[in-house]
Structures are given as C-alpha cells and as structure tokens.
C-alpha cells in the first residue's frame, strides 16, 4: 500500500501539483489525501478517483488480469489450478 502511495506522490510531483491541488481534482478532502500519502491507506473508491485525476486509469485495466506467458516452456511449467465455479462454503 505504501508503494502505491509513493508512486501516486511521484506522479503528483511530476505534474507539479500540490497535495491540495490533487485532492481537489480527485474530489477528496486534503486530510484524507495526506493520510494516504503518509500511511498508504485509502478506500478503493478514493484511489480510483485519484487515478482519474492523474490520468492513470489504464493501470487498473491490468489489475487481476490473467497470466501472460513468454514461451511455451512457461505454459508447460505453470500449474494451472482447477477453475472453481463458486467459492468455498463457510463451515
């Protein structure tokens, strides 16, 4: 989480924006944004709003994508687990 916060801060600084400017562009309160930069904690909705403000939404497209392989050997080495149709029952 802190790594994401560092990358967002870096992008903010590249654009020359203050914390206040980015918070306003993302529709967040300044204290909420400051907490994110210092602790890395933020609700998902707020993180998405920051991504829109920073024009970084493409990064969400690759989140949780299926694996990509570089060669046939990579495919053969990978153990593909059986695809479950539903989650486990709580016992």
| Domain containing residue 32: CATH number | 1.10.260.40
Domain contains 74: no
Residues spanned by the domain of 38: 2-58
Domain contains 39: yes
Read off the pLDDT of residues 52-74 as tens digits, 9 standing for 90 and up.
999 988 877 777 776 677 777 77
Domain contains 23: yes
Distances (CA, A) of 3 to 20, 24, 69, 73: 21, 22, 26, 32
CB 22 within 8 A of CB 33: yes
Task: Let me know how long the chain is.
Answer: 91
Domain contains 69: no
Domain contains 86: no
Does the predicted TM-score (pTM) go above 0.85? no
Domain contains 63: no
Domain contains 46: yes
CB 9 within 8 A of CB 36: no
The whole-angstrom separation of Cα 39 and Cα 50 is 16
Q: Tokens 């998405």 map to which residue? A: 48
């Amino acid at each position: 989480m802190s790594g994401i916060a560092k990358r967002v801060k870096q992008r903010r600084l590249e654009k020359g924006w203050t914390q206040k400017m980015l918070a306003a562009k993302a529709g967040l309160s300044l204290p909420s944004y400051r907490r994110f930069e210092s602790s890395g904690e933020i609700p998902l909705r707020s993180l998405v709003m920051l991504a829109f403000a920073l024009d970084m939404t493409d990064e969400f497209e690759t989140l949780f994508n299926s694996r990509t392989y570089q060669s046939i050997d990579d495919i053969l080495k990978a153990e593909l687990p059986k695809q479950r149709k539903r989650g486990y029952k709580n016992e």
